[in-house]
Structure 1
Amino acid sequence: MRAWLMNISLVDGWFPATLFSVTAVLAAILLGTAIWETVAGSRDGGKRTFAVVVCPVVIAIIAGIAGLVIAWLLSDVFVVFGVELGPHVVAWAGCGCAIIGFAICYAVQHRGVLRAVAVVLTVFAVLSAATGIDQAYGEYATIGSLFGQDTYREADLTGMAKRSDLISVTQWKQEKADGSVRNIPAHGEVRKVNIPATASHFEARKALVYLPPAALATAKHKPALPVILMMSGQPGSPGRVFAAGGIQTMMDDYAQHHGGLAPIVIAADQLGDDSHNTLCVDSPVYGNALTYLTKDVVDWVKANLPAAQQAQDWAIAGFSQGATCSLQIGANHPDLFGTIIPTGSELKPTNGSESSMISRFFHGDRTAYEKQIPINAIRNHAPSNQMLVIGAGERDRESVRNVERIAPVAQQAGMHVTAVESLDNAHDWHAVQDTLRYGLAVFGYNTGLSDAKPKLVDYPNLKRISI
C-alpha cells in the first residue's frame, strides 16, 4: 500500500486529473449556487447581486492579477530563484490565486454546507495550483519524490563485470547475430548503489545506476557499454534525476530500438544534501565533490560495471546547477569525457556573492575560481575534439542567452557543437528530456550503439540555436 501511494504520479494519470476535476466541479457548484441565489433574490425584490456574485468575482480577478504579477516579478524581474520559471508556472500561480480568492470570499459570505464547500475548494485550489506548477517544471514526478523517497532497490554491483569478459559493442552485436547472446530482457534495471568515496571522502548519498538489457543478457561476454554520468540541479538528488528526467523510460525505449543496447547511466550525488551547492569543486565548505565525481565514481564504474574505458565512450550531463557542473567538469577533463550534454546551464558556478564564494570555496584564490567558469575551462583546454549538445527551454530566456554565449566559444575551441532550445518549455525537466533525448541519439551513434546518424529535424520539439 505504501509503495503504491509513493508511486502515484503527479505529472500525469488519474491523480492530477482528479484534482483538477474536483476543483472545477466545486468552483462550478459555488458559482452556480451564487447565480441561483441572485436570481431568486431578485424575484423577491432582494438586492444581493453584488454581495453574492459580483464581490467573489471581483476578488477572484484581483487575486488572480496579484498572483500573476507577483509570480512574474519573482521569476522574471527579480529572478529570486536564479532562473526564469516560465509562463506556465506564472499562469498557474495566477489561476490558483484567483480560485482561492473566490473561495475565501464565498466562505466569508456563507454559512453551513456552502461555507464547507468553499473551504474544501480552497484546499483543492492550492493542491491543483501546486500540481500544475510541478507539471510545468517537472521536478517532482511522484508523491514519494516530495519526501525524497523512491522505490529503487539497493544492490551491490561490485565486481558485476570483469575486464577480461568485456568485448566491444561491435563484437557483441556479432555474437548476438550468431546466437551466442540469449535472454535479453525487455527492459533495463535501475539499482541504488553505494559508491565508496575512497579518494575524496565526500559524504555523498547513494547513486542510481541504469543497466540496459544488453548488460543483463545471458552471454559469455558482456559489451563494454558507453556511460552517461548525470547530475541533478540544486536542490536535487540522484533519485530526482531518474524520476523527473524519465531516465529509465528513455533508455529502455532506446534499447528497444537498438537490440538491447543503451548506455549505462550513473546518477551520482554532487551535492551531499539538497541544501548544499558544492559548486562541484573540492572545497573546505562541503568537501571534495570534484574528486568524488572524477575519481571515485569514474574509477568505481570502470572497475565494477560493463563499462567502456575510453573518454570518447563517456558523457557527462546535467540540469541547471548540474548542467554548469557538467560543463566545467567536462571541459576541464577531456581525458574522462568525450561528450557533454548540459541543459539550462549557468555561465559560472555561483553560491552567494563572488567575493564570498572565492573566499569560502577557493581559499581566496581567484585564479582557481576562474578555471571553473565553463567558458574559461573550454578556452584553457582548446583545441578540443569533444562533442557538446547544449540546450535550454525556449521560455527560459536567460539560459538561452547563456547557450548563445557558451556555444560559439566551444565551437571556436574545436568542439562539435549542437545548440538547441526545447519549444514551449522553460527551466524545467521537460527541456532536459528533450535535450537529453537528442544528445543520447548523438552519443549512441558516436559510440557505435546505433548505425543511423541522428537528424535534428526528427526531433520536432527541438529548434536549433544559431551560433
Structure 2
Amino acid sequence: MRQWLMDVSLIDGWLPVTVFVIAVASAVALLIGAIGGGRNGQGKQDGHVRLIVLPLVVAAISGAAGYTLTWLLSDVFVVFGVGLGPRVMAWVAVGFAAVGYAVAHIALRNGMMRAIAALLVVSAILATAIGIDQSYGEYATIGSLFGDDSYSQANLTGLVKRKDLISVSQWRGQVADGTIRNIPSNGTVSKIDIPATESHFKARKALVYLPPAALAEGKRKPALPVILMMSGQPGSPGRAFQAGGIQTMMDGYAKSHDGLAPIVIAADQLGDDSHNTLCVDSKVYGNAFTYLTRDVIDWAKNNLPAAQDAKDWAIAGFSQGATCSLQIGVNHPELFGTMIPTDSEIGPTNGTRQEMIDRFFDGDVEAYESQVPINAIRNRAPTHQTLIMGAGEEDAASARNIRTIAPVAVKAGMHVTAVESIGNAHDWHAVQDVLRYGLAVFGYDTGLSDVRPNLSDYPNLKRVAV
C-alpha cells in the first residue's frame, strides 16, 4: 500500500485530475449558489453584490497580489537565483485568486456553502502546487517529494571483463546477421555505491542506467558510450533520473537502435541537497571534482561495458549541474568529448565572487577564474569537442548565458549547437528537450546510429544564432 502511494504520479493520472476537478467544481458550486441565493427576503438584489461581486473582487485583487509578489521575488529581487517563468507566476496568481475567492465566501456564507468554500481553499492550494510542479517537471511522484524511489540497490562490480567487449559496429553487425538474439526490451536502473577511493567525498548513491545491449545474453557486450549526468542544486541523482525522464528516453532510443543506448551515470556532485560544491575540490564540502573525474570514471571503466576514449564520453547537467558539466568538460577534453548543459549559469555560483575565491579556492583568484566556462574555453583553445547547449525559452538569464558562452566556444573550434526549449523556463521540461536532441547527436557521433540528427525534427527546440 505504501509503495502504491509513493508511486502515484504528480504529473498526470488520476491524482492531478481529481484535485483540479474538485477545485473547479467547488468554485462553480459557490458561484451557482451565490446566484441562486442572491435575492433576499424582500426580493431585492443587494444580495448579489454581497455574494457574487464581492468574492470576485477579492479574487481579482488576490490574484494580482500573488502575481506581483511572485514577479518581485523572481525577476526583481531574484530570490531563487533564477527567474520562475510566466507559467509558474500564472499558477501562483490563479492559486491566490481561488483562495481569495474561497475565503470571501467563508466570511459571507454559512452551512454547506461555507464547507464547500473550505474545500476550495484546500483543493486550490493543492492544485497550485501540482501545477507549479508540472511546470518544472521536478517531482514525478509522491515518493519523489520525500526522496523515495523504486530503484533497487545493485552491485555491478566486475559486471564485464574488458577482454570480452566488442565494438558497437561489431554488435550491430552481429545483430543484423542473427548472431546476437534475445535482446531485452528495456534497460535497467540501479542504485550504486561508487567507492570514493581517491576523493573520500561523501557522495550519495549514484544511479546507473544500463541499456538492453548491456543486458543481453552471453558474455560478449558492446563497449558503450557513457553520459555522466548531474542534477541541479538542490537535487540528487534520483531527481536527475525521475525528473529528467532518462530511463524512458534511453529505452525509447534503444528500441530503434538494436538495443543500443548510452550508459547513463547520475552521480552525486553535491553530497547533500543544501551543498553547492561548485564541483571543485575544497575544504568546504570535500573533493567533489576528484570524485567525479577519478572515482566515478575509473569505476565505470573498470566495471561496466563502458568505452574508454574521451570521444565516447559526454557530461551533461541541469542548472548548477549544467555549469559543472561545462567547467569540467571544457577543462578536461581528455575525459569528455561532448557536453550537454541545460540552463547553465555563467559561472560557478555560491555567494559573491570574492566569497567563492576565499572559501573554495583559498584566495587563489586564478584557480577560481579557470572554472568560469568562457575562461576555460579560451584557455583550452583550440578544441574540437562537441557542445550542445540549451536553455528554456522563458529563462531569460540562461538564454543570455548561451549567447555569451556559445560564441566563445565557436571561436575556440568547438562543434556548437545552441538551442532554446520552446515554451519552457528553468525546468526539467527544457532538460528533456535538450537531452533528447543531445542523445541523438551523441549517438550518431559514437556510432550507435547512422542517421545524422536534424534539428528540424525536434519541434520543441529552436536554434539560437551564435
Q: TM-score range by the shorter chain?
A: over 0.9
Residue matched to 1:50? 49
Identify the residue that residue 359 of structure 1 maps to in structure 2.
358
| Mapping of residues 140-159 of structure 1, within 5 Å | 140-159=139-158
* Deviation sequence 1:255-304 (CA, Å, 0-9, x none): 01111100000000000011110000001010000000000000000000
Letter in 2 for 1:449: L
Q: Deviations over 1:317-350 (max 9, x none)?
A: 0000000000000001100000000000000101
Q: Is the 8 A contact 1:385 1:414 kept in 2?
A: yes
SS in 1 for 2:113: helix
> What is the CA distance between 1:43 and its match in structure 2?
6.0
Equivalent position of 1:339 in the other structure: 338
Name the CA distance, whole Å, in 2 between partners of 1:380 and 1:112: 72
Q: Is the 8 A contact 2:263 2:306 kept in 1?
A: yes
Is the contact between residue 211 and residue 261 of structure 2 (CA under 8 Å) also seen in structure 1?
yes
For residue 418 of structure 2, give the secondary structure of its aligned residue in structure 1. strand
Partner of 2:427: 428
2:266 matched residue in structure 1:
267
Are positions 1:305 and 2:311 aligned together?
no
> Offset at 1:420?
0.2
Deviation at 1:173, TM superposition (A): 1.2
Q: Percent identity?
A: 67
* TM superposition score normalised by structure 1: 0.98
Partner of 1:239: 238
Q: Does 1:417 align with 2:429?
A: no
The CA distance in 1 between the partners of 2:351 and 2:97, in whole Å, is 35
Query: 1:434, 1:219 → 2: CA distance?
Result: 35
Residues in 1 aligned to 2:219 and 2:160: alpha-carbon distance in whole angstroms: 11
Counterpart CA distance in 1 for 2:14 and 2:313 is: 39
Which TM-score applies when normalising by structure 2? 0.99
Which residue matches 2:23?
A: 23
**Do 1:190 and 1:248's aligned partners in 2 also have CA atoms closer than 8 Å?**
yes
Larger mean CA deviation between 243-252 and 215-224 belongs to 215-224
Give the match for residue 32 of structure 2. Answer: 32
Residue 180 of structure 1 deviates from its aligned partner by: 2.5
Counterpart contact for 1:182–1:219, Cα < 8 Å: no
Q: CA separation of 1:293/1:48 partners in 2, compared to 1, >3 Å: closer, same or farther? A: same
Q: Structure 1's 43 and 24: CA in aligned 2 closer, same or farther, altered over 3 A?
A: farther
Q: Is it true that 1:213 corresponds to 2:216 in the alignment? A: no
Look up the match of 2:227.
Answer: 228
* Secondary structure at the counterpart of residue 46 of structure 2: coil
Correspondences of 1:157-236 after superposition (within 5 Å) = 157-236=156-235
The 5-angstrom pairing of residues 79-90 of structure 1 reads 79-90=78-89
Residue 172 of structure 1, CA deviation: 1.1
- The answer to which of 46-55 and 68-77 deviates more is 46-55
Q: Is the 8 A contact 2:222 2:305 kept in 1?
A: yes
Distance (whole Å) between structure 2 residues aligned to residue 259 and residue 173 of structure 1:
7
CA deviations on 1:352-382 (whole Å, 9 max, x unpaired) are 1221111111111111100110111111111
Give the whole-Å Cα distance in 1 for the aligned partners of 2:219 and 2:94.
Answer: 59
The answer to whether the Cα contact below 8 Å between 1:180 and 1:219 also exists between their aligned partners in 2 is: no
Equivalent AA in structure 1 for residue 374 of structure 2: I
1:460 alignment partner in structure 2: 459
Shift of 1:76: 1.6
Tell me what 2:11 maps to.
11
Opposite residue 99 of structure 1, the aligned amino acid is A
Q: Is the 8 A contact 1:104 1:118 kept in 2?
A: yes
CA contact (8 A) 1:311 1:338 kept: yes
Specify the SS of the correspondent of 1:48.
Answer: helix
SS at match of 1:421: strand
Q: Which residue of 1 is the match for residue 398 of structure 2? A: 399
* Number of residues of Structure 1 aligned to a counterpart in Structure 2: 466
Partner of 2:139, secondary structure, is coil
Q: Does 1:96 align with 2:86?
A: no
1:182 deviates by: 2.3
Query: Contact 1:207 / 1:266 at 8 angstroms: preserved in 2?
Result: yes
Q: Deviations over 1:87-139 (max 9, x none)?
A: 10010000000000000111111222222211111011000001101101111
Q: Return the letter of the residue paired with 1:9.
A: S
Question: How far is 1:17 from its partner?
Answer: 1.2
Deviation at 1:49? 2.3
2:2 corresponding residue in structure 1: 2
Aligned residue for 1:230, secondary structure, equals strand
Structure 1 Cα separation of the partners of residues 331 and 164 of structure 2? 32
Partner SS state of residue 194, structure 2: coil
- Indicate the residue corresponding to 2:257 in structure 1: 258
Contact 1:420/1:464 (8 A) holds in 2: yes
Instruction: Name the aligned partner's letter for residue 167 of structure 1.
Output: I
Matched residue SS, 1:279: coil
Contact 2:66–2:92 (Cα < 8 Å) also in 1: yes
RMSD (Å), alpha carbons? 1.0
Q: Distance in 2 between matches of 1:110 and 1:461?
A: 47
SS in 2 for 1:55: helix
The CA distance in 2 between the partners of 1:131 and 1:220, in whole Å, is 46
AA matched with 1:27: A
SS at match of 1:192: strand
Instruction: List gaps (5 residues or longer) in structure 1.
Output: none
Where does residue 314 of structure 2 map in the other structure? 315
Q: Which residue of 2 aligns with 1:119?
A: 118
The CA distance in 1 between the partners of 2:450 and 2:228, in whole Å, is 23
CA contact (8 A) 2:160 2:219 kept: no
2:134 match: 135
CA distance in 1, matches of 2:256, 2:447: 14
Report the secondary structure of 1:266's partner residue: strand
Range with bigger deviation, 219-228 or 339-348: 219-228
Give 1:17's aligned amino acid: V
CA distance in 2 between counterparts of 1:220 and 1:45 reads 86
Matched letter for residue 313 of structure 2: W
Measure the CA separation in 1 of the matches of 2:376 and 2:17. 46
Q: Which amino acid aligns with 1:460?
A: P
> Aligned-pair distance for 1:459?
0.5
Shift of 1:44: 2.4
